[in-house]
Structure 1
């Protein structure tokens, strides 16, 4: 049976090459990245410096390499900031009437609310007809107001619509407009603003970006689907903000045929320009980000423009030549054919069964793996649920590191070290290949659908190897006399474990020195290898292979931190939104550097460690 399973596995690897190759082609064909500046920043700049015009600011944006300007709908509040209206609360109007010795307010004007006066040729009353449940004309000192009863802050936040003059100015500056829309709680406002969004669609307005924690109509699945269809029919693409997790965006993306661009939003201050530049470059080349929202925090334009120029210049200097500024777009649509998925699933069955056979060496457990994985394959073809593929991916991701480090070690054979290391890497590579083929498509590339269970990959293999190492040595360990080198090994492993736990996850702690080292590695190597692989896991695995020649039981304890390298290697490829070539390059560096550092550990073990043990023994005997 073993030969049959190996044959199936090899055939699966060969026949699924087109899937991986297609993904690489899709990723490499999309190399344009876009910078977006919010237009709302200009309001304060224009007020602070009357010599500025929106046209001159937009021209400056264009000259710095900005491609797009985001635009939010005007509200009553923004209309007042622009000087188009004057808004007076009921309490302030009472004070004014009292000071000018005029008649006090009478019903209906004595209620809490807002008095709005149109300045110049702007006609607030005509533009907002039907926006408010109640409004009443009011005249004082020959000045006409529109009185709107209600909470003043609520009235000030009412959306009015997109400024068509600003849209025209942005387009005239040869920039694109990215409209932004919120999820309004008032259904009437929501429908009005959706209509407004659809009405401004024209060349140069191609993508929409949402505000807040949820997209419009997120709480109404039926309306949400209709909204997605409206966006699709109008020709709008979507933008997803990294780490925002906006409710309803994934549903809109599927309705819109995954026409979506991943966007990273970052604040730009005078003190973080270099850091922001590094983030933009890294996100572009390593995470398939294609749009960057630049929140300039400078209050004065004379400070904001130089900061923007410096940021863009540093990005251009550090960005690889293969990437260019331009209109961002989604990745071309692709998917894995069903027959390729079926072959990959057969390969997954063979992989999991062979792993069970190799690790447990128990017929029943091997049959459990074979039958269980086969039933899951049947479940997939019956239900066609992608969750089944994710379960397979997780099972392979957990199994591959364990099988890699527990392969039979034949220390008496020639080239034992290189052979064993290569075999372990090959096992992980096969598991990675199957995961890449099973979880392949635009939904994974765009981060709409994610690999689940990353924390299990970090925990289960280490726990399994620890139990495996202790299980067969529990009695000797309990009876053994503790000597110096035992304490030293325990201290080293404990230190590695603490460091490992502090580094795992997005909130892992990283020192300033390491940040600088990372940046240097990126500059030299294009992409840095993972620390857990080339500095911890792989070197200690190499050392474990060497120690196994003399102390087989001790070597199993070195495999506990050694498995970290392999689980991290597999985990690299479960980040499915990272370009495949980047993951391959990063892993290649880790494998090579890890082997070299492992040889250094062997040298230290042979030259220094043994001498230390000898000296300690001699002194102890004296």
Structure 2
């Protein structure tokens, strides 16, 4: 039995590579369908928050005239859409449709004392038209929530008494302001609906009416406000959420998925799924970020900040599948100027001109227009190809494991295939994420292991060729093996939920750390063909070595380096001002920015390490512990599933090309230093 297993285990190494190739061939159509999905939506929409404009106008001597002027200026700058909220009494006040008073204020203007203990809200409509159109809306909104509303008038103006405090009444949401919708339409703006979950309990009839009003005004998309979506009552499968989903389908409204939130809006994923992912991604310029465009800045400082925001908008559209950019602003008290200022002109400046966001986005191949969701390409034959990609991924993991424990090759593949089959039935999405992480770790690791073996064969005389050419060729071959992981990740996670970041690639920190540790272990214990007993003896020798202060310092430095390296991974990593400037320079000149750690560090270090190991000492192979950072970075680039595949491909291509050039420079510099050392330093010592 053991002999039979040993014979088949030895043969398995060759035919498992054929399994990998079959998996790659099956993965290519899956990757192609993701590319087709990504290219189905190329319109970018800039939207301004209309409520913010009303807030700013309140500090102007003629608010209505100011709003009109700013709307015209925004239209000229290229902002084509306005986000309109469900109205509130306070918003109607800002729009000069009503005047609001507390019980005390109403008593002062009427000259009649307020009832003892009364704390109500008094509403006066500006004119008869405002009363006719807004009074039914106000009465309905408050009566629905059990708040008594009764008529009131002052002189020749009609109004209402709302039996709630002014502070509370100002928070209640109503139908959108019909005057605002008409005015914005007349100005030529598209309407984007902004809905909240503040109307509790949820009323399908009330939401139906609101969506109908927005649809009549031309709205095709919704941005949800707050921590939860309308209809969310604490659980994902509530009847209220089902009703909301049905209404979204009825009015064919697309949903905006706001990026970089601390937590997804509760209930959003359910609505996205029920709407068949009629969803697009939204990037927001917050009020606080807009504030930094204004204030007491020099002209140069202001231009630099404007350019940074413009670059950010372009990068969002190109690199992160963003289809809507939501602009916010607010008034700021400027004590030095003794006035209230706003960043509206600076925001418009981020869009205008040759270096502005609009022209650069169009130049990148996008068009300006209403944001819409992707057309999802999901052919029926995906059900046949994905299992093949799954088996191919299992084969890559088994082949990697076999370089440490050769006898496990066949059994690990069979057990892996059986477990994958069971999980494919129970939870395919979980299986795909687990395999994507596994193959993401194993592909660059396998590539580096084969590179180390090639160098040892070269030193043994089994391979020939120029040393620099060998190093570059080895780098390219290793990168191609790492790309095996890329193809499987793109194929396994080609679901639209990853492009929309409704779900994500998991285990980024593990991807960045595990291959480094594995290659370090391989170099120490497995790369020299040691027998099991010799491996154990080497481990004992290392564990029993004398620990000096120097080793403690080195270990501390390594831990600090690892912590810094991990802190730079993912979206949370922080870059210095110089690095941001260098990034912008690369982005603006190359169109797509290659990763700095790849072409200035990891790729050149790989090439230099291979060259030194072949020409000088095999101990130079330990440089590969750093060189693998570039290989896993290749995989990580494509693990950013919200980035279009073609952008990631260009980024990696630039990194490889520039990495080879810088790697050659590393070798040249090393040789110059080595010759100088031999010529000047060694003779003087002798």
Could you tell me the TM-score, scaled by structure 1's length?
Answer: 0.89
Answer whether contact 2:472 2:607 (CA < 8 A) is retained. Answer: no
Aligned with 2:265 (options 234, 243, 246): 246
Answer whether contact 2:36 2:377 (CA < 8 A) is retained. Answer: no
RMSD of aligned alpha carbons: 3.4
Match of 2:182? 168
The answer to whether 1:316 aligns with 2:358 is yes
User: Where does 1:448-459 land on structure 2 (aligned, <5 Å)?
Assistant: 448-459=502-513
Deviation at 1:422, TM superposition (A): 2.5
Match of 1:554? 619
Match of 1:112? 119
SS of equivalent to 1:257 = coil
User: Where does 1:12-161 land on structure 2 (aligned, <5 Å)?
Assistant: 12-44=23-55, 46-47=57-58, 48=60, 50=62, 52=65, 57-93=70-106, 100=111, 102=112, 104-106=113-115, 110-121=117-128, 122-123=130-131, 125-130=135-140, 131-132=142-143, 133-138=147-152, 145-161=159-175
Aligned with 1:606 (options 671, 674, 678): 671
Aligned with 1:227 (options 244, 247, 254): 244
SS of equivalent to 2:322 = coil
Aligned with 2:484 (options 397, 420, 430): 430
Relative to structure 1, is the Cα distance of residues 187 and 498 closer, same or farther in structure 2, using a 3 angstrom cutoff? closer
User: Where does 1:58-457 land on structure 2 (aligned, <5 Å)?
Assistant: 58-93=71-106, 100=111, 102=112, 104-106=113-115, 110-121=117-128, 122-123=130-131, 125-130=135-140, 131-132=142-143, 133-138=147-152, 145-184=159-198, 186-187=200-201, 192-193=206-207, 195-202=209-216, 204-218=218-232, 219-220=234-235, 221-222=237-238, 223-244=240-261, 245-267=264-286, 268=290, 269-270=293-294, 271=302, 272-297=305-330, 304-305=344-345, 307-313=347-353, 314-319=356-361, 320-335=363-378, 337-357=382-402, 359-364=403-408, 366-407=409-450, 408-409=453-454, 410-411=457-458, 412=461, 413-415=463-465, 416-457=470-511
Answer whether contact 1:496 1:561 (CA < 8 A) is retained. Answer: no
Q: 2-side partners of 1:28 and 1:81: how far apart? A: 42
Answer whether contact 1:260 1:446 (CA < 8 A) is retained. Answer: yes
Deviations 1:280-310 (A, max 9, x none): 1111111111111112446789972464145
Q: 1-side partners of 2:246 and 2:137: how far apart? A: 28
Q: 2-side partners of 1:522 and 1:20: how far apart? A: 26
Gaps of 5+ in 2: 1-11, 295-301, 333-339, 526-534
Relative to structure 1, is the Cα distance of residues 482 and 106 closer, same or farther in structure 2, using a 3 angstrom cutoff? closer
Relative to structure 1, is the Cα distance of residues 331 and 154 closer, same or farther in structure 2, using a 3 angstrom cutoff? same
Relative to structure 1, is the Cα distance of residues 126 and 536 closer, same or farther in structure 2, using a 3 angstrom cutoff? same
Aligned with 2:517 (options 463, 466, 484): 463
Deviation at 1:382, TM superposition (A): 1.9
Q: 2-side partners of 1:106 and 1:296: how far apart? A: 41
Relative to structure 1, is the Cα distance of residues 290 and 140 closer, same or farther in structure 2, using a 3 angstrom cutoff? closer
User: Where does 1:556-595 land on structure 2 (aligned, <5 Å)?
Assistant: 556-595=621-660
Relative to structure 1, is the Cα distance of residues 45 and 604 closer, same or farther in structure 2, using a 3 angstrom cutoff? closer
SS of equivalent to 1:216 = coil
Corresponding residue pairs, total: 612
Deviation at 1:354, TM superposition (A): 1.9
Gaps of 5+ in 1: none
Deviation at 1:368, TM superposition (A): 4.4
Answer whether contact 1:298 1:304 (CA < 8 A) is retained. Answer: no
Deviation at 1:344, TM superposition (A): 0.9
Answer whether contact 1:273 1:311 (CA < 8 A) is retained. Answer: no
Q: 1-side partners of 2:351 and 2:49: how far apart? A: 16
Could you tell me the TM-score, scaled by structure 2's length?
Answer: 0.81
Relative to structure 1, is the Cα distance of residues 482 and 612 closer, same or farther in structure 2, using a 3 angstrom cutoff? farther
Match of 1:515? 580
Deviates more, 1:608-617 or 1:305-314: 608-617
Deviates more, 1:565-574 or 1:549-558: 549-558
The answer to whether 1:539 aligns with 2:604 is yes
Q: 2-side partners of 1:585 and 1:617: how far apart? A: 46
Q: 2-side partners of 1:105 and 1:165: how far apart? A: 33
Deviates more, 1:319-328 or 1:271-280: 319-328
Deviation at 1:434, TM superposition (A): 1.0
SS of equivalent to 1:187 = coil
